[in-house]
Chains A and B, each alone.
Chain A
Amino acid sequence: MGLDFSVVPGFLDSILIGALWTIAITLSSAAISFFGGIFFAVISLYGHWVIRLPFRAFAFLFMGTPLLLQLFLIYFGLIQIGIDLPAFVAGIIGLGLHFAVYNSDIIKAGILAVDKGQHEGARTIGLSKGQTLRKIIVPQAVRNVVPPIGNNMIALLKDSALVSVIGVTELTLSAQLAISQTYRAFEFYVAVAVCYYIINLCLEYSLHLIERRIQISR
């Protein structure tokens, strides 16, 4: 069987819908991973050891095992304990938590890099501990770590392909559906790879804009 890319346009609709799902999944799990990352970073730096130790174990587990395995655990595990979530919700939670753990390491380093005087100054003018963190420390910390977090977002976009395995109809699965009708694997996977590449370029460009925008002029 030779190559025949003329079958691709017929499935353009479903591929584009798949691409929209991929973008939606990437953005929502990126949001979870960002805020989750901040939350985890604050816990592991300032939390009571009763919270900190289980979190350490959780982070250790999530960094030492493949994402695919974690997706299986979350999707099938939640069903087992009686929570029947749609696959795409399980996928978003899985991707979000996985990258939250990676982001938390980066944000932790960012928090530690914020000058100590900022903390002391904020406390001196009467801000509470929580206020100091929320209004003074975290905003500065996050600003410092935008480039590495951006890299994680790009990795997240590519890893979002994995949720096709638990049955989420995003870009990858939309290709598989088209292939099951046409038996033209090469054409559709290449088409989908091109879509990922384009989304990737757009994401990189937006991250570049964000980086430029939040730079403080010193």
Chain B
Amino acid sequence: MDFELIFRIYPYFLEAAWVTVQLSVYSILLGLIVGALITSAKLSRSRVLRIAGTVYVSVFRGTPALIQLFILYFGGPQIGINLDAFEAGVIGLGLNIGAYMAETMRGAIIAVDKGQNEAARTIGMGRFQTMRKVILPQAARLMIRPLGVNINAQIKATALVSAISVVELTYTAQRYIGSTYKPFEMFFLAGVIYMVMIYMTGLGINWLDRRAVIK
């Protein structure tokens, strides 16, 4: 292990890590919005919306995220979508994780006891009110952990955008492997940074989960 090399180049890795953080945060936020929309579509009374939601989840979970990114970034210009690599990365990853998050959210909502829904409707609450005031507050607690798993996966999935040449952590590691022929050192450096990010996120999720426990 060439520690001198590691000390010399770690600032570049930290710079790249910041890009990874931005990619993660933006795509996770987009994923949460998409997930919420798809979940509402799948739980709605309209058959068309339900089918659309099911198709979305099936297509985005049934094909590789890498291909989805390629279609958006390389194929986008052909249908009039011109994005730079970073934007394509955020949107592509966000749309992809949104499908997984939708399943997580739906699972949590379904897991809330049926009696809650029936009782709320019986005392005269509307469908929307029941969802907002009775079901969602309970489901939100159940969602925290599984969404944490999605978020953890997403941080690692940001490595994919190196394939559309966004200069993030994996791209930087790959470039330095090419120029220094020291794959172990580069892996070590990038790996430690990824693990710190995932560890910190894990702490955040744990904190949220503890706070959400009903006393």
Contacts and interface: CB of A to CB of B under 8 A. Distances in A.
Interface of A: 1-3, 60-61, 64-70, 72-73, 76-77, 80, 158-162, 164-165, 172, 175, 179, 184-187, 189-190, 192-193, 196-197, 200-201
Nearest to B184: A77
Contact of A192 (B67, B79, B191): B67
A196 B173 contact: no
Interface string B125-142: 000000000000000000
B163 interface: yes
Contacts of B158: 66
A80 B183 contact: yes
Contacts of B191: 61, 64-65, 69
Given A158-B65, A190-B75, A73 B187 contact: yes
B184 A66 contact: no
A192 B158 CA distance: 22
B76 to A, nearest CB: 8
Given A3-B79, A189-B74, A172 B64 contact: yes
Contacts of A160: 64
A98 to B, nearest CB: 10
A168 to B, nearest CB: 13
Nearest to A179: B74
Contacts of B65: 158
Contacts of A66: 156-160, 170, 194
A69 B68 CA distance: 20
Given A69-B170, A158-B63, A189 B75 contact: yes
Given A66-B159, A67-B156, A197-B63, A186 B79 contact: yes
Contacts of A162: 64, 66, 160
A76 to B, nearest CB: 4
Q: 10 closest Cβ contacts across the A-B interface?
A: A186-B75, A66-B159, A185-B74, A161-B64, A64-B195, A76-B183, A73-B187, A77-B183, A158-B64, A66-B156
A72 B184 CA distance: 10
A76 B170 CA distance: 14
A44 B184 CA distance: 25
Contact of B156 (A3, A65, A164, A175): A65
A134 to B, nearest CB: 32
Nearest to B178: A76
A197 B162 CA distance: 24
Given A69-B187, A80-B184, A158-B65, 5 more contacts: A73-B187, A158-B63, A162-B160, A193-B68, A200-B63
A172 B63 CA distance: 11
Given A65-B156, A189-B71, A72 B177 contact: yes
29 contacts: A1-B77, A3-B78, A3-B79, A61-B191, A61-B195, A64-B191, A64-B194, A64-B199, A65-B156, A65-B190, A65-B191, A65-B194, A66-B157, A66-B159, A66-B160, A66-B170, A68-B160, A68-B162, A68-B163, A69-B187, A72-B183, A73-B183, A80-B184, A175-B70, A185-B70, A185-B71, A196-B63, A197-B59, A200-B62
Nearest to B182: A80
B120 interface: no
Interface string B146-184: 000000000011111011000000100110010001111
A190 B68 CA distance: 9
A183 to B, nearest CB: 9
By CB atoms of chain B within 10 A, which of A2, A69, A77 has the most? A69
B173 A2 contact: no
Contact of B163 (A165, A185, A189): A165
A172 B159 contact: no
B33 interface: no
A120 to B, nearest CB: 35
